[in-house]
Structure 1
Amino acid sequence: MSATGDPEQHASSDVASAPADFASLLQAAFVHHQSGRASEAAALYKRILQHDGHHADAMHFLGVLACDVGDLPAGIDLIEKSLQLYPNAIYYNNLGNMRARGRDLRGAIDAYQHAIALAPDYAEAYSNLGYVQREAGDPMSAIDSCDTAVQLKPSYAEGWVNLGNAFFDLGTDDAALRHYMKALELNPNHAQAHNNVGNILVKYGRPADAEPCYRRALMLQPNVAFLHNNLGSVLRDQGRLDEAIASYRQAVSLDPGYAEANSNLLLLLNTHPRVSQTEQLEEARAFGAHQAAKAGPYEHVRPTAGAARRLRVGFVSGDLHSHPVGFFLESVLRHLDPARLELVAYVSRLREDSLTQRLKSCFTAWYDVSRLDDDACARRIHVDGIDILVDLSGHTNHNRLAVFARKPAPIQATWLGYFATTGIAAIDYVIADRHVLPADEAAHFVETPWRLPHAYLCFTPPDEAIEAGPLPALERGAITFGCFNHLVKLNDAVIALWSRVLHAVPNARLLLKTKQLDDPSVRTATLERFGAHGVAREQLMLEGQSPRAELLASYNRIDIALDPFPYTGGTTSVEALWMGVPVLTRRGDRFLSHVGESILNTVGLSEWIARDDEDYVAKAVYFSASMAQLAGLRATLRDRLAASPLCDAPLFARHLEDAFQNMWALHAAASHDHARDRRSGIADSTSLEDAPDRTGRNFA
């Protein structure tokens, strides 16, 4: 069998010479094995073992076959027994592969090291060792191992790919790219290398250049789900939403359990103006049902009714750094009462900065779960005795919704990082407010709404001391609109409406600033999208990403921020208000499109909420003609925001504490009633779907 640098490798059997009368049977078994005829191969391996129970090759490759068909424990047991009969490098290498497949990384490393001890020039074993060292979070050792592999065998393309991956983990993108290109020089048909070059180009902010890399990989391996997912993401970042949705659907069809592709699909369906709320909810429910089918919930100790105590609250997030989640979380955490709540962090992505260090001080424990599989992560949380587990991601990047499906905590909630239902029935509550989740829209969620008294967001003012400047229109003599949101939010309906605004306001121009516009081809495509509506190129200023201080300073170049739809701004909208820039938003029909309404209502700017497209254009024209009013608002808006509930962290913290304590009290009371009913023989016949409080009860 072929040997590659991937941990799925199988070695060829040129060891432990078989007796002559078994040689032909063994060769026939290998042919069946390589051709995917598992039952025929297994029958021949077993036939040999019936005559010779100590035939090492037959035992070993029967074990490999068992692993290939999904029975890892039995297969690994056979491989280990074959090594007792005949210890050799190839057997140990295969043992490492199978242990790695079962996520026994330490065991895999030990097996590869045994292989290398027996065969110091075994390049494939060094490369495989490097792969698993990466998976174990040790990129420096991975670089050493993979470098040894390519030194031993310079023509080994897979070794160069693994070496590139190790550099990629360290953030050394240029070195990673050089090694991927070396692999493609050796093997132009290496699909993974094409994919990895695409990944580097995405990091460089060049999604249009990454697209042909993913398409080339798909030509070589059309049935690999993650390649379709990666293609979908670069299509999304170019604003090609329908094509992106098709790619995500293809990924899900190839691998229905592929959580990342499912989440990307659901995220994008939420933002598409032609996808109904019903369709989005059905897709989310299907995802939740699939996750529930794979996960058995944990049994939890039932609390004593009415017993008030300090609660252990776990937060699961990959965004505990300079990210919108971190910005909205920081001031709240600092003001939570440690006598009421003990906070535990479960970090799903290792990325740290100065904000991370400040957030860490708010938690009694901080666990990296980025390399734990869903079962191990759920066990960790359950063993920790978490009372309330809070998802801060929803279907955004680095989420662990599959962990929540296992119900590791008795109460689970989703808050802050997402704007629609997760589809996970094991999540009890969605934390919201009356603006983003009115009573008549509760049926959009599988979770029960828990509405906070004011906004569901609390903004942490930025550390950067950037003052709000004078109204730019006073100097220019005309209005400059702006939007700093992700380009995916600028769907065709948004482009059409904003083009109407630019035509309706004399000499108006529009500044767009977002990381996708670092790519020249995306800038060109964006100009063409507006150009199709008659907007001249000189009316548009297109800029890429900047550090936060520079981003905030850029608000001093715009007079009015335009909010996209249905996916409105969140952080960008509050940052605009902080910099004295009012935001024009449009009323929506779901949580996602109500976020702008919640922000403006909380600050007392309800007049900036348009009823529909016509009102949006009319308000843009009216406010643009009122420069004195705009200048006065700009001078007072930061103080107005700071005095509102959006920046009142102590008040918000009390409300959040009360929410968690009241959730626990309801759970304790329900547990008490359930225990009483069981003692009296009363059956629990009411499902969550039938319970009247499941849709619309305001728990605030």
Structure 2
Amino acid sequence: MAISFEILFNQDFSSNHDLVFSSNAPHQIKEANRAWQEKKFSKVCLSLRALKDNFEDDAYFWLIYGRSLIELKNYHEALNCLERSIELNAEKADTHHFKGVVHQHLSQYQDSKKCYLSALSLQAERPLTLSNLSCIEEALGDIQGGMEYAERAIHLNTTDTALIHNYGIMLAKNGQVKDAIGWFKKNTVKQRPFPESLSSLLYHQLFLTEKEDGKDAADNTRLVASTFSKNTYRQTSRPSNTKKIKIGYISSDFRRHSCAFFIEPILRHHSDDFEVYLFHNSPVSDDYTKHLQTLVPHWFDIFYETDNELTEFIRKQELDILIDLNGHTGGNRLAVIGQRVAPVQINYLGYPQKTWLPEMDYRLVDELTDPTETERPNGETLLRMPSTFLAYEPLIGSPTIQPPPVHQNGHITFGSFNNPMKIGPETVSVWSELMRAVPQSIIKLKSHCLRSENQRIRITQLFTNENIAPDRICFLNPVDNDTEHLDAYNSIDIALDTFPYNGTTTTLEALLMGTPVLTLRGTSHRSRVSYSILANLGLNEFAPETVEDFVSQGMLLSKNPQYLGALSASLRFLLSKSPLNQHQVFIENYENLLKQTLIPILELAQSHQ
């Protein structure tokens, strides 16, 4: 009788056994076992590939092979292995679980859900399966269902790093941001901080009040440096200051995503002084991904590269500048940037705060978001654009602007289409003060995250605490079509911004659709973005610095429907003529700033000649 691969693979190779092997299987199994223990999965696969003929009909062999391929992000081949394993033995919960993992990585959420449910039908108390299933339910739109699975998972195991991280994510999606931060912190106080949880911690801190800014500065600096900073190399000079400047952009969002919409005009207008490289860190692509590929001479899909592989690969490109468009948002490669892959590394666009990474040299902002008096020491050097740090290209086929709905409704409709995580007690308090001053006014809220019933209950309760009745709050269903999404702005008279974490895309979309935006200007970058946008349209008065002036400006607009209508009709034109849409001027200022960052590098090179 043939000995199963499971017995052979899991035996203690440090002692002697009388097991009988065929051909040279003992050596290859030992090598696979050793590599598995050392997490060297490419070596595991190399050994297993040579053993396929020996264990063609062994379900456990194909499970281990599939799991190893998952670690190498070779998902399609892993799927074949796991399907073969299930064909041989459909009663093993692990195999169904890891098949679900593959489908999840490939964004095949319905297939992934079926696999996870199959695993749970065979073994009900599987914390990791439950945790992964919570993420799947959230991706499919059932945030409440996802929260229930996450709670079941964490109840079974309160110490596992992955479970803690996923639970934090689900809490945040459910509107419990402060609770989520507490769970992310659990993963940063361990001997080896979990990088994803550290980035999530720093990202979700942006949703707290400005009073809390800087409270954890020392911890953030220490944690980011110890987790991401592994600088083993530094290019000190360019080969020649007469050559084109090699500039790279790295992001997980080169697709239909707000970040890509802002970077597209830059890629389209880069001068011949620059040679452009794009590094796409996502397995997901769409029609917009293909469009961006046509704009640059060098495109690389890097999602499947390990940190060390990617570090070596980018260094070989001999870039002069690398611009990171993720910061601490999902899909970042800060562990690569922390190894120094270009002499100049810049934080831009995707993350409205410094990254705390020592190897991140600069952050690109503008004179309105970050005036000199707001400069904070011990961070990335600020590169200030003279008017705006954003290049905006309106979506093609934007709907026709309709007259403000107050003319038909007889009452003012406020609205916000921002991420509800940005809607906290401070924001609702100010909005409610305005709504109390404008009788019969209502507010419409729309976001994919508002699919969560708990989010809606939370926000409704915040308004109730401010004596705003629930019937004055309207939650709109999210839509996936761009035209329908933009057309929804025609149903509101005045857009109310969130603070301290402003909208960016939502502010511009509202203005594009003729909807004036009212914001409260703060002291940090994230609380001054809408002010910068409005000031570039000559609408500084819509970004007051005090709550009193915010309410007064809102009342003024609300009491004058004729002025509101005239303003609405002019906003798209004002936007089109603003610096936000003057791409050639923008790119000249932008490239001049980038060239300035290379001056110290060139001076250093000359001093060594």
> Which bracket does the TM-score occupy, shorter chain normalised?
over 0.9
CA contact (8 A) 2:154 2:167 kept: no
SS of the residue 2:215 aligns to: helix
Following superposition, the deviation at residue 217 of structure 1 comes to 1.9
Counterpart of 2:449, as a letter, is Q
SS of the residue 1:443 aligns to: coil
Following superposition, the deviation at residue 215 of structure 1 comes to 2.5
Counterpart of 2:226, as a letter, is H
Name 2:243's counterpart in structure 1: 309
* 480 and 444 in structure 1: CA distance in 2 versus 1, 3 angstrom threshold: farther
Name 1:266's counterpart in structure 2: 202
CA contact (8 A) 2:143 2:451 kept: no
Following superposition, the deviation at residue 128 of structure 1 comes to 2.2
CA contact (8 A) 1:112 1:126 kept: no
- Cα distance in 2 between the residues matched to 1:467 and 1:322: 22
Name 2:518's counterpart in structure 1: 584
Name 1:474's counterpart in structure 2: 407
Q: Check if 1:365 corresponds to 2:298.
A: yes
Alignment of 1:535-684 (within 5 A): 535-547=468-480, 548-673=482-607, 675=608
Counterpart of 1:315, as a letter, is Y
Alignment of 1:415-434 (within 5 A): 415-434=348-367
Q: Check if 1:87 corresponds to 2:31.
A: no
Following superposition, the deviation at residue 349 of structure 1 comes to 1.2
CA contact (8 A) 2:416 2:495 kept: yes
Following superposition, the deviation at residue 301 of structure 1 comes to 4.6
> Which stretch of structure 1 is more off in the superposition, 502-511 or 118-127?
118-127
Following superposition, the deviation at residue 652 of structure 1 comes to 0.9
Q: Check if 1:238 corresponds to 2:174.
A: yes
Name 1:409's counterpart in structure 2: 342
- Cα distance in 2 between the residues matched to 1:379 and 1:309: 22
SS of the residue 1:366 aligns to: strand
Counterpart of 1:94, as a letter, is N
- Cα distance in 2 between the residues matched to 1:652 and 1:109: 50
- Cα distance in 1 between the residues matched to 2:111 and 2:212: 45
Match of 1:296 among 225, 228, 231: 231
* 86 and 399 in structure 1: CA distance in 2 versus 1, 3 angstrom threshold: closer
Counterpart of 1:281, as a letter, is A
Following superposition, the deviation at residue 85 of structure 1 comes to 7.3
Match of 2:92 among 152, 156, 160: 156
CA contact (8 A) 2:106 2:283 kept: no
SS of the residue 1:542 aligns to: strand
> Which stretch of structure 1 is more off in the superposition, 484-493 or 274-283?
274-283
SS of the residue 1:488 aligns to: helix
Deviation per CA, 1:103-154: give whole Å up to 9, x if none.
52xx333322334421233212211222333444443433322122122222
Name 2:108's counterpart in structure 1: 172
Deviation per CA, 1:282-304: give whole Å up to 9, x if none.
343123321465x1331315247
Deviation per CA, 1:380-429: give whole Å up to 9, x if none.
11111111010111111111112111111011111111111100111111
- Cα distance in 1 between the residues matched to 2:22 and 2:599: 57
Name 1:681's counterpart in structure 2: none
Match of 1:342 among 258, 267, 275: 275
- Cα distance in 2 between the residues matched to 1:497 and 1:361: 45
- Cα distance in 2 between the residues matched to 1:296 and 1:661: 24
Following superposition, the deviation at residue 336 of structure 1 comes to 0.9
- Cα distance in 2 between the residues matched to 1:589 and 1:283: 22
- Cα distance in 2 between the residues matched to 1:321 and 1:568: 23
Q: Check if 1:247 corresponds to 2:180.
A: no
Q: Name the TM-score, length of structure 2 as normaliser.
A: 0.93
CA contact (8 A) 2:237 2:604 kept: no
> Which stretch of structure 1 is more off in the superposition, 233-242 or 587-596?
233-242
> Which stretch of structure 1 is more off in the superposition, 166-175 or 487-496?
166-175
SS of the residue 1:254 aligns to: coil
- Cα distance in 1 between the residues matched to 2:18 and 2:506: 63
CA contact (8 A) 1:112 1:129 kept: yes
* 604 and 284 in structure 1: CA distance in 2 versus 1, 3 angstrom threshold: farther
SS of the residue 1:572 aligns to: helix
Counterpart of 2:157, as a letter, is Q
SS of the residue 2:376 aligns to: helix
- Cα distance in 2 between the residues matched to 1:10 and 1:191: 28
Following superposition, the deviation at residue 592 of structure 1 comes to 1.1
Counterpart of 2:189, as a letter, is S
* 479 and 394 in structure 1: CA distance in 2 versus 1, 3 angstrom threshold: same
CA contact (8 A) 2:495 2:515 kept: yes
- Cα distance in 1 between the residues matched to 2:5 and 2:583: 55
Amino-acid identity (%): 26
Alignment of 1:112-123 (within 5 A): 112-123=48-59
Name 1:689's counterpart in structure 2: none
Counterpart of 2:234, as a letter, is E
CA contact (8 A) 1:208 1:522 kept: no
* 469 and 444 in structure 1: CA distance in 2 versus 1, 3 angstrom threshold: farther
CA RMSD between the two structures = 2.5
Deviation per CA, 1:409-454: give whole Å up to 9, x if none.
0111111111111001111111111111111222256110111111
- Cα distance in 2 between the residues matched to 1:83 and 1:388: 55
Name 1:683's counterpart in structure 2: none
* 165 and 289 in structure 1: CA distance in 2 versus 1, 3 angstrom threshold: closer
Q: Check if 1:530 corresponds to 2:466.
A: no
CA contact (8 A) 1:436 1:594 kept: yes
Counterpart of 1:576, as a letter, is A
* 444 and 475 in structure 1: CA distance in 2 versus 1, 3 angstrom threshold: farther
CA contact (8 A) 1:238 1:487 kept: no
Structure 2 unaligned residues grouped into runs of 5+ = none
SS of the residue 2:403 aligns to: coil
Alignment of 1:14-53 (within 5 A): 45=14
Name 1:277's counterpart in structure 2: 213
Q: Check if 1:497 corresponds to 2:441.
A: no
Name 2:155's counterpart in structure 1: 219
* 12 and 469 in structure 1: CA distance in 2 versus 1, 3 angstrom threshold: same
Counterpart of 2:422, as a letter, is K
Match of 1:456 among 374, 383, 389: 389
Structure 1 unaligned residues grouped into runs of 5+ = 14-29, 31-41, 49-54, 59-81, 677-700
Alignment of 1:57-206 (within 5 A): 87=26, 91=30, 94-95=33-34, 97-98=36-37, 101-104=39-42, 107-206=43-142
- Cα distance in 1 between the residues matched to 2:8 and 2:465: 55
CA contact (8 A) 2:5 2:55 kept: no
Deviation per CA, 1:430-488: give whole Å up to 9, x if none.
11111111112222561101111110011111113312111111111111111111111
* 653 and 57 in structure 1: CA distance in 2 versus 1, 3 angstrom threshold: farther
SS of the residue 1:253 aligns to: coil
Counterpart of 1:665, as a letter, is I
- Higher Cα Rg, which structure: 1
Name 1:63's counterpart in structure 2: none
- Cα distance in 1 between the residues matched to 2:246 and 2:221: 29
- Cα distance in 1 between the residues matched to 2:90 and 2:111: 17
Match of 1:210 among 129, 146, 170: 146
* 89 and 204 in structure 1: CA distance in 2 versus 1, 3 angstrom threshold: same
Deviation per CA, 1:280-337: give whole Å up to 9, x if none.
53343123321465x13313152479x3431000101001111111111111211111
- Cα distance in 2 between the residues matched to 1:491 and 1:4: 55
SS of the residue 1:279 aligns to: coil
- Cα distance in 2 between the residues matched to 1:119 and 1:213: 36
CA contact (8 A) 1:115 1:125 kept: no
- Cα distance in 2 between the residues matched to 1:515 and 1:504: 29
* 180 and 189 in structure 1: CA distance in 2 versus 1, 3 angstrom threshold: same
Counterpart of 2:426, as a letter, is A
- Cα distance in 1 between the residues matched to 2:421 and 2:8: 43
- Cα distance in 1 between the residues matched to 2:457 and 2:356: 37
SS of the residue 1:459 aligns to: coil
Counterpart of 1:632, as a letter, is A
